[in-house]
Structure 1
Amino acid sequence: MNATYRQLLPSLFIVLLLLAGLAVGDGHAQSKTTATAVTHRPLLSVKEMQQDLAILWAAFNTMHPAYGLYTTEDSMWLRYHATVQRICRPMREDEFMTAMYPLVSALKCGHTQVRHSVHYKPTAADRLPRLPFQVLVQNGRAWVTTHQLTTLQTGDELLRINDVPVKDIIQHGGDLYAADGNNQTFKELFLSEYDGFEDACNKYYRWKPPYHMLLRTADGMEQTLDADTLPATAPQAESIKTFDNYTNWSSSVNTGYLPLRFLKNAAVACFEVHSYQYEDTLIFKKAFKEIHEKGIKTLIIDLRHNTGGDIRIAAKLLTYLADAPFQMVGDLWARVPNPGKTAFTPYFDTAGTASFFQSFQPTGIKKAGCYQMAFQPAFGNLLGKTDLDKEDHFKGKLIVLIDGATFSSGAHTAAAIRQNCKGALFIGRETAGGAEGCSGGSIQALTLPHTRVVISFPLLRVVSVFRPATYGHGILPDHVVAYTPMDIVTQKDVDLLRALEVIHATAE
């Protein structure tokens, strides 16, 4: 850190702690009063927003596990200062959240997101127009997928909107939701599947329809058009038949919400593993028993859009897949001695604090500037060895499907498979969760006391077992699969088809 920042930070920290102390001193009574006032007031004052931003900055600086990992402290300070300058007029809650997001995104932690206050009710000013099309974003470019305009075609590439290059829209849209490390696959998925591109047009640029667009058609011609918004009930302009991905598969009746399918006339199975729930362990038992009984030689584990959950459930899945007894979590640490007891505890959810102490315990050990944490005995020994399943352990060829929504415990699963299943082949796109691990473990809700906006705030750093991990990136596939706009519209599962191609080529 340069000398200028060394001089500024001590005085800044004193101011921040004073602000935090004033808010803490009034306790829950102040929070309740503020919440009532905010609920009935359309605009947040500059003073309230600046005070809450200072508290959030102090919390990031003091205890956030990702602080300084992927963005330098100097760069974080500059982003904070730019945010302070941006908050120079009364704002609606939604505008305040949009103004904060570039700072939050700079942490590069996918578990740190901004949420509306509990009593938030959108006003007419908060209702944003809809784009009459969806997009597929890849590598800084955007193509039309489904749409409601007869003047568009699936596959048209958007070049400019309102004279702004699409690559700039994508860059600013990516700042409206945080992701782990330097990952871009989740940013692309957010912009494509979760209306992130529309959010960029509405929230960052504040555009109103009609939209003046420059696009390139499939035959390479450039053309301009003006596109107005349409009701959500307006029909799609193109009627396209969807692709049947499972015409040659049969489905198990034993696995409920986790589909298990068997390829006809082949010893191949595909098992979809979604975000982890407690009932999953019973389904795993049934699934791998059936896989064993059918003599499956090649198993496809589908971790796409597995956004995580209880990591103990993920460890249970590994008991059927790993080559030998394995360790699920590489390390567990915090930036403060006890994340459950800090100056910011009054802003955190009390139930979340209780849950933290039920699952984790401080060790008092400091190593490399961090404080080691341990799992409570009842949580399980994820830092030690876990034995394999003895009855239905899978010993065949393993293929894993991953994508930009394989996150949190889902990404830890991919990392553990990469480390402990040496013959596994990965197909798809880079995982959203980092190969090094993630900031998570216990996700708190930090309620900013004046505006009541809520920040999802991880307390711990959960280090993966994968070595050597690529700095700032997720688990990378052996076969990278890119989708076309028509693949999206027809719902063609190109990842699964690539897996079958690999299986066929290996069998020859």
Structure 2
Amino acid sequence: MKSILFSLILSLTLNVSLIAQTLTTEQLQTDFTRFRTALHEVHPEMYRYTPKPVFDSLFTATAAQLNRPMTQQEFYVKMMPLLVALRDGHIKWIVSGKDEHYPFFSEKLFPLKLYFLNGKAWIVGNYGQGLVPEGAALVSINGKPTTEIVQTLLPNMTFADGNRIGGKLEDLNRYFSGYYATFIGAPDTFTVTYRMGTEEKTVTLPTVTEKSIKAYVEAHKPAPQKPFRLTFTDKQTVIMTIEAFFTEGNGLKYKSFLQDAFREIRAKGIQNLVLDLRDNEGGEEPLGVLLYSYLANKPFRYYDHISVRQKKKYSFPTWTSKLYRMAKFLVVKKRGDGYAFTAQRGLKVTKPQKDAYQGKLYVLLNGNSFSVTTEFAARLHADRSSRPGGATFIGQETGGGYKLNSSGIFAITQLPNSKIDLGIGMFGFHMANVATYPYTDRGIIPDHLVAPTADDMLKHHDQVMDYTLKLIQSPASGLTKSE
């Protein structure tokens, strides 16, 4: 036990000293080379959104900037444009031993919880002293307008596929203080100008710590509920909430939940099913396939193919699944100019379940609907015209891409000098039969765009759910996305 504690203390001490130390140009170039090599050898869809010539020019420009000694933070920030150019919300860029959202500062953090919508921000909580009224609009921080701050941070954020910003804004809602400290600064105090009604005020606020932010978040968590649940609102309507595509305990609870839920839905003659997938960031791919089998009305293929970059051993030190390393020579096959992973349930033709639901379906999404959730929603969206009850999508555009999700098993390498971990999803999940979707860089765009207001957040009012239930009662009353 003592040796473990000593190792932990030593690791933290080394990490603190590394943050403060300066990396030489030789060390920076070594880490840059490892970074570039890892992307080229691992990422399955590196040029999906950014063409190779553009990427090559970005690499050249970044390498040229590593011409002087830098701190770990300077190097971390300097590499961000390359990560953002991937347009891959799964990419991981984490300072070893640190919280990924607070990589350099655990103190001197911004003290207000913010909510971003339509280019504006509102105060919806105080991490420290309650000196700013909740519901006020944020005008500026240390003299910099809110819009300018957002424009500074968004180009340094990766949580979105393609050219989506919804996932990034959701990330700002949760981790603004960490992003501000990393990419703008960590001053001793914050001068905040806010507007309440027609009155504008300026106050100077003390900073807070990472610990106090996390304590606030923990204290304001909603009461825990089962991650998979049914809520019957009337004799004809039920809400099915799935918070994540993960199994529980013995691995049977998700499967048994679906089996029991759809049997009950069928027995009660439910005509309206509301499927709530908001804030579901994904999980295990086969569980998305399984859920779709309870909604399909004919045999289907979920994925067209699953791309991988290469089959041979990587040329650099890396961690990845031992099982995959052992099995890849059997399950990775040549496909055109590249390779494909072939051992996945979603590649096969799957039949609908005997209790598959064919009634009216309403799917709730937001910017945190990501990864496996977006795959499932894309499959359902592409096939909805063939369902007797159709499918209506409500909420906000997903953070994940419609046609492609790069994730699956990760390969992780630590850059030798800066000690930053680079994690790359090894599989490119290409959805089947989605060619008619007109956008190559977007997520699932709801038929009815409904976004919670700051007032909704403060009052814990679920505007999206209320809108959906009213739409079920009076379909002609709904506002469409064009409005």
TMscore range, shorter length: 0.7 to 0.9
1:386 to 350, 358, 372: 350
1:117 Cα deviation after fit: 2.1
How far apart in 1 are the matches of 2:269 and 2:408? 37
Aligned counterpart, 1:396: 359
Q: Which residue of 2 aligns with 1:192?
A: 173
Conserved? CA contact 1:363–1:373, under 8 Å: yes
Per the alignment, do residues 203 and 349 of structure 1 end up closer, same or farther by CA in structure 2, a change over 3 Å counting?
Answer: same
Which of residues 259, 263, 268 is equivalent to 1:294? 268
Say which SS state the counterpart of residue 347 (structure 2) adopts. coil
Q: Aligned ranges for residues 112-131 of structure 1 at < 5 Å? A: 112-117=91-96, 126-131=105-110
Aligned to 2:453: 484
Partners in 1 of 2:208 and 2:136 — Cα distance?
19
Answering whether residue 341 of structure 2 is matched by residue 361 of structure 1, we say no
Q: Secondary structure at the match of 1:259?
A: strand
What SS class does the counterpart of residue 462 from structure 1 fall into? strand
Q: CA deviation at 1:187?
A: 0.5
Task: Output aligned runs, 1:12-51, within 5 Å.
Answer: 41-42=17-18, 43=21, 45-46=23-24, 47-51=26-30
* Contact kept? 2:278, 2:369, Cα under 8 Å: yes
2:44 corresponds, among 65, 68, 89, to 65
Is this contact kept in 2: 1:242–1:490, CA < 8 A?
no
Q: Match of 1:421, SS? A: helix
> In 2, distance between residues paired with 1:352 and 1:119?
28
The aligned counterpart of 2:473 is 504
Alignment of 1:23-172 (within 5 A): 41-42=17-18, 43=21, 45-46=23-24, 47-81=26-60, 83-84=62-63, 85=65, 88-92=68-72, 96-117=75-96, 126-147=105-126, 148=128, 150-172=130-152
Is 1:356–1:442's contact at 8 Å kept on the other side of the alignment?
no
Structure 2: runs of 5+ lacking an equivalent: 1-10, 478-483
The answer (yes or no) to whether the contact 1:347–1:448 under 8 Å persists in 2 is no
Structure 1 residues 155 and 352, CA gap change in structure 2 (3 angstroms): farther
Which of 230, 249, 252 is equivalent to 1:260?
230
Match in the other structure for 2:393 = 426
Partner Cα separation in structure 1 for residue 102 and residue 186 of structure 2: 18
Deviation at 1:500, TM superposition (A): 0.5
Alpha carbons of 1:305 and 1:242: their partners in 2 closer, same or farther (altered >3 Å)? closer
CA distance in 2, matches of 1:293, 1:124: 52
- TM-score, normalization by structure 1: 0.78
Q: Does 1:226 align with 2:194?
A: no
SS class of match (1:128): coil
Aligned letter for 1:91?
T
Question: CA shift at 1:406, angstroms?
Answer: 0.9
2:311 corresponds to 1:348: no
Change (3 A) 1:106 1:507: closer
Residue 217 (1) aligns with residue 196 (2): yes
Per the normalisation by structure 2, the TM-score is 0.82
Alpha-carbon deviation of 1:306?
Answer: 1.6
Deviation at 1:418, TM superposition (A): 0.7
Q: Which residue of 1 aligns with 2:186?
A: 207
Is the partner of 2:140 in helix, strand or coil?
strand
Structure 2 counterpart of 1:459, which letter?
Answer: M
Q: Counterpart amino acid of 2:436?
A: P
Give the secondary-structure state (helix, strand or coil) at the position aligned to 1:414. helix
Find out whether 1:323 has 2:292 as its counterpart: no
Q: Deviations over 1:423-446 (max 9, x none)?
A: 100011111110011112322222
Judge conservation of contact 1:319–1:388 (CA < 8 Å) in 2.
yes
Preserved CA contact (<8 Å) 1:347 1:449: no
Q: Distance in 2 between matches of 1:397 and 1:151?
A: 48
Structure 2 residue 240 is matched with structure 1 residue 271: yes
1:419, CA displacement in angstroms?
Answer: 1.8
Displacement of 1:493 in angstroms is 1.4
Tell me, what secondary structure is at the counterpart of 2:436? coil
Contact 2:117 2:453 in 1 (8 A): no
What letter is aligned with 2:448? H
User: Given the superposition, is the C-alpha separation of residues 138 and 451 from structure 1 closer, same or farther in structure 2, using an over 3 Å criterion?
Assistant: same
Deviation at 1:127, TM superposition (A): 2.3
Asked whether the equivalents of residues 110 and 208 of structure 2 are also in contact (C-alpha less than 8 Å), the reply is yes
1:352 and 1:445 in contact (8 A); partners too = no
Between stretches 271-280 and 144-153, larger displacement belongs to 144-153
**Does residue 173 of structure 1 match 2:153?**
yes
The separation in 2 between residues aligned to 1:319 and 1:122, in whole angstroms, is: 36
The answer to whether the 8 A contact 2:114-2:173 is kept is yes
| 3-state SS of 1:159 partner | strand
Work out whether residues 427 and 480 of structure 1, in 8 Å CA contact, stay in contact via their aligned partners in 2. Answer: yes
**Alignment RMSD, CA only?**
3.4
The alpha-carbon deviation at position 144 of structure 1 amounts to: 1.2
Aligned to 1:14: none
SS at 2:297's partner residue? coil
- Aligned pair 1:375/2:375, yes or no? no
Query: Distance in 2 between the 1:70 and 1:123 partners?
Result: 28
CA distance change for structure 1 residues 87 and 505 in 2, over 3 Å: closer, same or farther? farther
Q: Which of 287-296 and 169-178 deviates more?
A: 169-178
The offset of 1:289, in angstroms, is 1.5
CA distance in 2, matches of 1:258, 1:355: 34
Deviation at 1:140, TM superposition (A): 2.4
**Gap regions ≥5 residues in structure 1:** 1-34, 245-254
Q: Distance in 2 between matches of 1:75 and 1:371?
A: 21
Greater Cα shift, 197-206 or 295-304 = 197-206
Identity over the aligned pairs, expressed in percent? 25
When residues 112 and 297 of structure 1 are mapped into structure 2, their CA distance, relative to the original with a 3 A threshold, is same
Q: Which amino acid aligns with 2:153?
A: G
Distance 1:304 1:123 in 2: 25
- Structure 2 Cα separation of the partners of residues 352 and 418 of structure 1: 34
Structure 2 vs 1, CA of residues 355 and 500 (structure 1 numbering), >3 Å: closer, same or farther? farther
Q: 1:105 to 1:356 in 2, by over 3 A?
A: farther
Partner of 2:278: 304
Query: Number of aligned pairs?
Result: 444
SS where residue 314 of structure 1 aligns? Answer: helix
